[in-house]
Structure 1
Amino acid sequence: MPSVPLHPPNKSSTVLDTTNDNNPLPPLLRTPSGLAILELQGTINFPTTTPNDDVDMDTQTEEENTKTKIIETELGKIMFPDYSDLDPESTKWMKRVYLYAGRYQRMTGEVKKLAKPLAVIQRRPITKMQDENGTGGGNGGQDELEIVDVIKYKIIFASRPEPVGLETIAERS
């Protein structure tokens, strides 16, 4: 049975640096306590676009290696109205979370602890030193994995969106 080495998180590379162009992971959802899973009850209808359309909310990028277009659509803005930097140990912020979807809708949710935590893993980058010594690739260029972070919470939005005005969103920003 094939096996792949799995390493603990690397302290020198900040895993949460999703702005790095070489990081293959999508930007993950960050809460005051770490990464979280977003759980929505229902369907999200994204705007349909053709390659010639220019939509303000969409960002089109082209990957260099594959020459495929990736269209990113901003889903909304998540806010934790009860979180306080003065008391980071408090869990009061977990009771109420807002997701502002688009310009006129707000969903209210809460943060729940997962029964079993999930590990986010990624392919481990091989450093030049490991590559030269032949220690980075395992057996004949075998991939190695490392743990990026452990997800312990999920944010649940179980109710329907409620209408809000633009000024409500501006007040929260």
Structure 2
Amino acid sequence: MPYKQIEYSQISQSTSNESPIIFTTELGNTILEIQGDLILPEFEPSILDDDPEIANKYLKISNRTFIKIGKLEIDEISKKATLYIGTSQRLLGDIKSINPPLALLKFPNDKGETDQNIKLIDVIKNKIIFSGRPLPIM
């Protein structure tokens, strides 16, 4: 059976490398668990730079476009989180530990290259669970 090595050098460098794209808290990378569906656009808008109202809903970094789904506030002391979606809804959540933790792995993109290692990106130890219905913002 074929196998690949897992390369973990990137995880040890991530604490010393300051990336402008990634920010960390004491929780590190975290899984968001939402009960329900997020309705997202099917296509990237072509007029992203022209219309400020549309541009506020997206984030463009290099050649990739990301959708802003809301604002996340984390209270690490009380282990609570609030996710504001748009201007009318908020979700209340709890921060829970994952036991055993999960590994975030990056597999090589090119299927022809068999000598590339699998990269261990991070170990995920927490998740935020939003189990209730959205509450209105007053």
Q: Indicate if the aligned counterparts of 1:9 and 1:149 stay in contact, CA closer than 8 A.
A: no
Equivalence for 2:67: 73
Counterparts of residues 1-173 of structure 1 (less than 5 Å): 1-10=1-10, 13-14=13-14, 19=20, 30-47=24-41, 51-54=45-48, 55-56=54-55, 57-59=57-59, 63=63, 70-81=64-75, 83=76, 92-94=77-79, 96-122=80-106, 142-165=115-138
Instruction: Quickly say closer, same or farther: Cα 1:158–1:30, change in 2 above 3 A.
Output: farther
Count of residues in correspondence between the two structures = 127
Q: Which has the higher contact order (CA 8 A, sep 6+)?
A: 2
Counting aligned pairs with the same residue, the percent is 28
4+ long deviations beyond 6 Å:
none
Specify the structure having the higher radius of gyration (Cα): 1
Let me know the Cα RMSD of the aligned residues: 3.2
Q: Indicate if the aligned counterparts of 2:91 and 2:133 stay in contact, CA closer than 8 A.
A: yes
Write the letter of the residue equivalent to 2:121. V
**Greater percentage in strand:** 2
Write the letter of the residue equivalent to 1:78. L
Task: Give the unaligned 5+ runs of structure 1.
Answer: 21-26, 64-69, 84-91, 125-139, 166-173
Distance (Å, rounded) in 2 between the aligned partners of 1:152 and 1:35: 8
Task: Give the unaligned 5+ runs of structure 2.
Answer: 49-53
Post-superposition shift, 1:53?
4.4
Using the size of structure 2 for normalisation, the TM-score is 0.71
154-163 or 9-18, which deviates more: 9-18
Distance (Å, rounded) in 2 between the aligned partners of 1:114 and 1:150: 10
